[in-house]
């Protein structure tokens, strides 16, 4: 009886093994019959042999253009750009995939979940749940070499409308006189106003802000032409004209109103600012700059506007230092 049971068990296991082998063979045959893009040795290492590129080296890590991310091997669309976010991990991060485009496969060790292209089986990376980066609470951690990118293209009649004629940026980097001085010099800047933002007091005065009780920062509101100067260029100029490692001070000026802070007016601005901050951090700069959503900007008293232009001198605590 024992011998009979062993024979039955062997037959069942052999049948299952044969079926799995058949399924794998069919999948491989199906994939081999597809037309794939030619891969470089590094792409083969990651895509075919499930390798991982070094963090912060990939093409799409600090990349936030509008468009679609595709499988590098077969070209299938995998992710939309609005699903991408900065996961601060060194690899492109997405909180959602195009429906049906990405397949999840538990790793053999049971600790992680691999993600592959549903169409061709190309290795993309791994997916993580419960980290709290976005409302979807999901992070697809993807190798850049597993991806290609198709930029968003507009119909020809909309081309001239792609960039607005005006946009607004708000920066705080110590005394607003010095911050304004450098931003005014940038080609493409239309106008600047110094004022107060980030606090809780309505229509604050300079004296109230200096009391450190209103929570406001001295800041500059910049109206600029995106067709002449980009927001990223302004962010870089902001970092190159003050010390972003100082907390609640800039040079001899001390107090929370002198903090380094970027007040973004859109999610696109936020992502660009995060990108530039990460570039500095990767250079070893201990950035203390806050990144906050802009609230009400209160224009400062008239005698503060265009201060150095009227005075005919240069800032005492803002100096230009090339960092990019």
Q: 3-class DSSP state for residue 76?
A: coil
Query: For residues 314 and 61, what is the distance between their CA atoms, to the nearest angstrom?
Result: 38
Closest to 318 measured CA to CA, from 197, 228, 194: 194
DSSP 186: S
b vs e for 237-251, b when ≥16 Cβ sit within 10 Å of the residue's Cβ?
bbbebbbbebebbbb
Cross-sheet strand order for the sheet of 260-264: 290-293, 260-264, 167-173, 217-224, 189-197, 298-299
120 is catalytic: no
* Identified catalytic residue from 71, 117, 120, 175: 175
Single out the catalytic residue among 89, 141, 210, 317: 141
Q: Would residue 175 show up in a list of annotated catalytic residues for this protein?
A: yes
Q: Residue 105 pairs with which residues in a beta bridge? A: 114
Alpha helices in 116-163 (DSSP H): none
Could you say which DSSP state residue 257 is in?
A: G
Could you give the residue numbers annotated as active site?
A: 141, 175
């Amino acid at each position: 009886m024992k011998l009979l049971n062993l024979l039955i068990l062997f037959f069942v296991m052999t049948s299952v093994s044969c079926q799995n082998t058949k399924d794998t063979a069919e999948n491989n045959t199906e994939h081999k019959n597809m037309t794939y893009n030619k891969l470089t040795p590094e792409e083969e290492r990651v895509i075919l042999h499930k390798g991982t590129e070094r963090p912060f080296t990939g093409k799409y890590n600090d990349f936030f253009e509008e468009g679609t991310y595709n499988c590098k091997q077969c070209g299938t669309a995998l992710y939309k750009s609005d699903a991408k976010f900065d996961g601060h991990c060194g690899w492109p991060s997405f909180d959602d995939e195009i429906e049906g485009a990405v397949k999840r496969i538990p790793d053999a060790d049971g600790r992680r979940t691999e993600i592959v292209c549903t169409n061709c089986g190309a290795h993309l990376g791994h997916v993580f749940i419960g980290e709290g980066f976005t409302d979807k609470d999901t992070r697809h951690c993807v190798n850049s070499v597993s991806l290609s990118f198709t930029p968003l293209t507009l119909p020809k009649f909309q081309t001239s409308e792609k960039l607005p004629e005006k946009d607004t940026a708000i920066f705080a980097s110590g005394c607003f006189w010095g911050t304004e001085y450098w931003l005014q010099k940038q080609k493409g800047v239309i106008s600047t106003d110094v004022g107060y933002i980030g606090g809780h007091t309505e229509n604050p005065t300079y004296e109230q802000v200096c009391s450190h009780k209103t929570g406001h920062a001295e800041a500059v509101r910049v109206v600029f032409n995106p067709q002449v100067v980009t927001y990223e260029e302004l962010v870089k100029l902001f970092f190159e004209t003050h010390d972003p490692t100082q907390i609640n001070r800039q040079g001899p000026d001390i107090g929370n109103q002198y903090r380094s802070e970027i007040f973004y007016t859109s999610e696109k601005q936020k992502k660009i600012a995060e990108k530039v901050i990460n570039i500095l951090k990767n250079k070893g700069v201990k950035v203390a700059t806050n990144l906050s959503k802009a609230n009400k900007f209160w224009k400062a008293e008239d005698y503060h506007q265009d201060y150095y232009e009227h005075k005919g001198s240069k800032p005492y605590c803002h100096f230009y230092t090339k960092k990019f």
